[in-house]
A = this chain, B = another copy of it.
Amino acid sequence: MTKAKIQTRNADATKRRIFNAAYKEFAQNGFAGARVDQIAKKAKANKRMIYQYFGNKEALFSRVLMVAYNDIREEEKKLELDHLKPEKALSKLVEFTWDYYLSHPEFMALVNSANLHKARHLSDFSIDMTQLHSGHVTLVKNILDRGVASGVFRKGVDAVQLCITIAAVGYYYLTNRYSGSILFGMDFMEEKALKTRGKFNKEVILRLVKTEKN
């Protein structure tokens, strides 16, 4: 193994450590609240390396956002929903979305921060983002179409609006879990409460698309 390779490997490792640290720091504190010093410290890297590898704080945040969005879609692909019946497929997607948010609360914090800054950190990768996401809409649209064809789903449900709603019902509950717990006087993160909400989400979506029984 050549020296160049080792250096590359170390460089890659450093870069990855910085990225992971940045991911956490941005998620915990938002873009404005995140500290470059803290990222370097968490990454056990020299601060200078951050600038070497990522340019500056803003570019690093952009990078983190892009990867974050990519990750969720990557996971989604693994579901292989095309093999399932429409109703089951949709139910599983709602469940997946909820579970993903639940196990990746940082994702929501990043998205919120991105929007506070009017998504300007996304605009560099605008095209990639749109393309990446179109797969998601197509996925939902396919399920819907199959459901309509088999008569279990009603016609006329817009796929984009459905996508948004699937995300909304879980996202809102979880991103506002702290204020929610105070306002509603209950622990939003308690196991039972989470189970209840997870089930409720599926009901919201399915009642929205299913054909009325007769």
Q: Contact residues of A with B, CB < 8 Å?
A: 29-33, 69, 109, 111-116, 118-119, 122-123, 126, 129-130, 132-134, 137, 158, 160-161, 163-165, 167-169, 171-173, 175-186, 196-197, 200, 203-204, 207-208, 212-214
Asked whether, in the complex, the Cβ of A130 is within 8 Å of the Cβ of B185, the reply is yes
The copy count of this chain in the complex is: 4
CB-nearest residue of chain B relative to A210?
B207
Q: A29-B116, A169-B169, A185-B134 are in contact. Are A164 and B180 (CB under 8 A)?
A: yes
| A130 neighbours in B (Cβ, 8 Å) | 182-185
Asked whether, in the complex, the Cβ of B111 is within 8 Å of the Cβ of A182, the reply is no
| A123 neighbours in B (Cβ, 8 Å) | 182
| A33 neighbours in B (Cβ, 8 Å) | 30-33, 116
Asked whether, in the complex, the Cβ of A179 is within 8 Å of the Cβ of B212, the reply is no
Besides A164-B180, A168-B169, 6 new A-B residue pairs in contact (Cβ under 8 A), listed by A number: A29-B32, A112-B116, A115-B179, A134-B185, A161-B200, A203-B208
Asked whether, in the complex, the Cβ of B208 is within 8 Å of the Cβ of A204, the reply is yes
Question: Complex formed: what's the CA distance from A200 to B208 in Å?
Answer: 10
Asked whether, in the complex, the Cβ of A161 is within 8 Å of the Cβ of B197, the reply is yes
| A177 neighbours in B (Cβ, 8 Å) | 115
CB-nearest residue of chain B relative to A126?
B182
Asked whether, in the complex, the Cβ of B212 is within 8 Å of the Cβ of A182, the reply is no
Residue pairs across A and B with Cβ atoms less than 8 A apart, 20 shown, are: A111-B176, A111-B179, A115-B175, A115-B178, A126-B182, A129-B182, A130-B182, A132-B183, A133-B184, A158-B196, A158-B200, A161-B196, A164-B172, A164-B180, A164-B197, A165-B169, A165-B200, A171-B172, A172-B172, A207-B207
